[in-house]
Amino acid sequence: MVETSELDWIVQKTTELLTDKVKDAPLTDRDIELAFEMFAKPRLERLSNAFKNDLERRQAQDFIMMKLQERAKQLNAEHWQKLEI
């Protein structure tokens, strides 16, 4: 079984890509998918032997995507929120 700390590390490092991207424009679902494909997916594949079955692998992938979506919303709010006067 994969430790949550390993998945959190993957989320953290993938978020670094999103943090750079959000400076140019608000993040989209496509940006999240690309970041996942570029960084998280290869690391999950390296951990493939640690998963008991496909369900566990899928749950890890879903966990990472959920965390990336949450973080992208946060980043968009921090960088692109309109000032309310």
The yes-or-no verdict on residue 83 having pLDDT over 60 is: no
> Could you give the 3-state DSSP secondary structure of residue 78?
helix
Alpha carbons 17 and 21: distance in angstroms, whole number: 6
- φ/ψ of 71, rounded to 5, equals -65, -40
Residue 22 burial (C-beta neighbours within 10 Å; 0-12, 13-18, 19+): buried
Domain boundaries, the chain: 4-77
Alpha carbons 28 and 48: distance in angstroms, whole number: 28
Average pLDDT of span 38-61:
93
The yes-or-no verdict on residue 2 having pLDDT over 90 is: no
Greatest pairwise CA separation for the chain in angstroms: 54
Average pLDDT of span 51-70:
95
Higher pLDDT, 82 or 47: 47
pLDDT interval class at 42 (50, 70, 90): very high
**Alpha helices per DSSP H over the chain:** 4-21, 29-35, 41-46, 54-80
> To the nearest whole number, what is the mean pLDDT of the chain?
91
